[in-house]
Structure 1
Amino acid sequence: MRSIRFQFLILVLAAAVVGGFFITRGPLPRMSLGGAVRYCQVEHVRRSIAWGVPVNRPVSDVDTDISLHGPLHDSLSIAAMTGHEHVVLMLLEAGADVNAGAECGSTPLVEALCQGHTDIAAMLMDRGAVLQTCGEYGLTPLHEVVESLCWPQDAGWTLAFWLPHVEESVAFLIARGADVNVGDDEGNTPLHYAAGTSGYMQLSGTTPDRVYRVTEFHRRRMLLLLLLAGADVSVCNGEGKTPLDVAEAAGFRELVTIMREDESRWQDRLHGISDSDYVKHLYSQDWWMQELNELEDLHRRGGNLNAADPSGWSHLHQAARSGNLSAVKFLIEHGADVNVSSPYGFPIYQAAKTPCEDVVRYMIEAGADLRPGCDGRSPHDMAIERGQFWVARLIRQYEKDRFGK
């Protein structure tokens, strides 16, 4: 009898231990760590870490081809690139390699900066991310960020997809001590990249004139940031060409003028190119018409209007962000999904950040999802954060009509 009681006690204790094990770790994760990070499934990331899934194990079982550098192979780079700060912190605390992928250049730091996530970049550098690491072709993070202005348009993309945060990341790197005169394997400094077009752009068939029309505000400011930080206009690359030569060859006459003038004027020029200039440009009728014409041309050529760039940013995300009602209508009327999913949330999230009530109204009436995203913020929250109170009021009214709250 004692033996039976003893065995029963052992079973109870074992059950308690096993139960405690599951309680402290939670249920087994239902998706891989890479997949959970890719789609910002925070609870699944937490469970994976709790169950001891190696955070530095190569990711190969999800669609990781979300970087403009090619497939990402580690969870931290994916989290940094998609901007999930809380996931980045969880991975770092679990021992993720902050310099993973250095051999090919696509480190978590580079991925964060090329999307403008300077808060994540600061977190990574505070944890030991190396600023001057040279990856593939001898490119430093500063090279990579500057070159992002001239990435190809594989699916008919306008260059605006990669513009908004480039100069912010350049300023961040300069403030952190990046060498503005370091050359890549071919001797090109960041100023060479800022002054002209890259080989990528030539391969994609994009004309320098079109490149400059779309990138002019950011390109000028980025060039001036580099010059004011001490970038040398006389440095020759492996072909014996200076940044001046590169700008002249690309036909960027204004950049040539800037580099040739007295450096005492650079600070005034930088202050003279204000954010309001870019906002006016972004919301101008000429810009909207250009964007619409490009979409119409893409549609005529049989292009996919639902296509997303490597980071998950779709044509509708861009049209919503620029407040282009004509482009938004064209896309939705021709089959674009108003709720196309991406790490950046639904397109309505981008529209909510603008003052364009007509765009927000049209998208909501077309079925835009108003629920909070994986970070807990709703379109209404985003409108409030950006000071778009009339837009927030409009969204709130639709929420009341739709959800009765």
Structure 2
Amino acid sequence: MCALSWTGLLFMASVSLAGAEPGHRTGDQALIAAAERNDVEAVRQLLKEGASVRARDPQGRTALLAATYRNHVEIAKLLILTGSDVNTQDAMQNSPLLLAGASGYLDILRMTLAADPDFTIYNRYGGTALIPACERGHVEVVKELLKTKIDVNHVNRLGWTALLEAIILGDGGPTHQTIVGLLVAAGADLNLGDGDGVTPLRHARQKGYRVIADILLSAGARE
């Protein structure tokens, strides 16, 4: 992974000074630490004492993000109910929605979706939560995301859609076959190629993914 840019370093410096009101700074950082170690009672007590759910640590993480990284479902639920922002991004440009989607954390993903997230907030690759979920084979997460208004044809900085990433970075097995079928049913553009114009069908054929190629052909894909 490449080193942080000056922008990233400045971000980390700024968030270390932000998000905590005078008198609550120690409690704010304690809240993030408690969320990370899954200490539900400490989180409840710190919130009662006025710790801010908006506070960030030096990595730009809120308590909700710290809980999401560890898939601490109960704490994530408590923090969202207390008003934590599901759109806040850390220095890695992860938000609770983006992180839960990419990691396959279905329970937390559903909570973030219920909080009406902003689907135009993208990860460090310029992608939505759907794209890495498809690549990594998180079928149930993909199903949940496809029930929303998320853009199934969004193109990330690599020039890939969710469909392309499922094929290019997937293994072609049953899980990715299912995901390709879900994307087709959701209206994915079957002929939208990558940055070099290579279509999903051509990628599938080049990789020897016969079942995926057949799914695409049956839906009207062209090479």
Same fold, judged at TM 0.5 (above) = yes
Structure ID, larger Rg: 1
**Partners of 1:133 and 1:141 within 8 A in 2:** no
> CA shift at 1:96, angstroms?
2.0
Tell me the residue number matched to 1:46. Answer: 44
Letter in 1 for 2:46: S
Tell me the residue number matched to 2:11. Answer: none
> Measured at CA, do residues 102 and 236 of structure 1 come closer, stay the same or move farther in structure 2, by a change above 3 Å?
farther
Tell me the residue number matched to 1:87. Answer: 75
> Measured at CA, do residues 104 and 241 of structure 1 come closer, stay the same or move farther in structure 2, by a change above 3 Å?
farther
> CA shift at 1:144, angstroms?
2.6
**Partners of 1:37 and 1:75 within 8 A in 2:** yes
SS class of match (1:57): coil
Tell me the residue number matched to 1:119. Answer: 107
Aligned-residue CA RMSD (Å) = 2.6
Whole-angstrom distance in 1 between the partners of 2:201 and 2:91: 31
Report 1:354-369 matches (<5 A): none
Q: Is it true that 1:172 corresponds to 2:144 in the alignment?
A: yes
> Measured at CA, do residues 33 and 191 of structure 1 come closer, stay the same or move farther in structure 2, by a change above 3 Å?
same
> CA shift at 1:103, angstroms?
7.8
Tell me the residue number matched to 1:221. Answer: 178
> Measured at CA, do residues 262 and 189 of structure 1 come closer, stay the same or move farther in structure 2, by a change above 3 Å?
closer
Q: Is it true that 1:259 corresponds to 2:211 in the alignment?
A: no
**Partners of 1:55 and 1:95 within 8 A in 2:** yes
Instruction: Determine which of 110, 113, 125 is the counterpart of 2:98.
Output: 110
Whole-angstrom distance in 2 between the partners of 1:103 and 1:133: 14
> CA shift at 1:108, angstroms?
0.3
Report 1:2-401 matches (<5 A): 32-60=30-58, 73-101=61-89, 104-147=92-135, 149=136, 163=137, 166-197=138-169, 211-212=171-172, 216-262=173-219
**Partners of 1:98 and 1:127 within 8 A in 2:** yes
TM-score when scaled to structure 2?
0.75
**Partners of 1:42 and 1:87 within 8 A in 2:** yes
> CA shift at 1:225, angstroms?
0.3
Whole-angstrom distance in 2 between the partners of 1:72 and 1:229: 34
> Paired residues, what number?
194
List alignment gaps of at least 5 residues for structure 1.
1-27, 61-70, 150-162, 199-210, 264-405
**Partners of 2:97 and 2:117 within 8 A in 1:** yes
TM-score when scaled to structure 1?
0.43
> CA shift at 1:143, angstroms?
1.2
SS class of match (1:32): helix
- Matched-pair identity in %: 27
Tell me the residue number matched to 2:19. Answer: none
CA deviation string 1:75-102 (max 9, x = no partner)? 2123234333331232224332221117
Name the structure where helix makes up a greater proportion of residues: 1
**Partners of 1:105 and 1:139 within 8 A in 2:** no
Whole-angstrom distance in 1 between the partners of 2:218 and 2:90: 38
Letter in 2 for 1:171: K
List alignment gaps of at least 5 residues for structure 2.
1-25
SS class of match (1:137): coil
> CA shift at 1:256, angstroms?
1.7
Whole-angstrom distance in 2 between the partners of 1:244 and 1:105: 31
Whole-angstrom distance in 2 between the partners of 1:82 and 1:89: 13
> CA shift at 1:105, angstroms?
4.0
Letter in 2 for 1:99: N
> Measured at CA, do residues 186 and 111 of structure 1 come closer, stay the same or move farther in structure 2, by a change above 3 Å?
closer
> CA shift at 1:104, angstroms?
4.7
Whole-angstrom distance in 2 between the partners of 1:54 and 1:173: 29
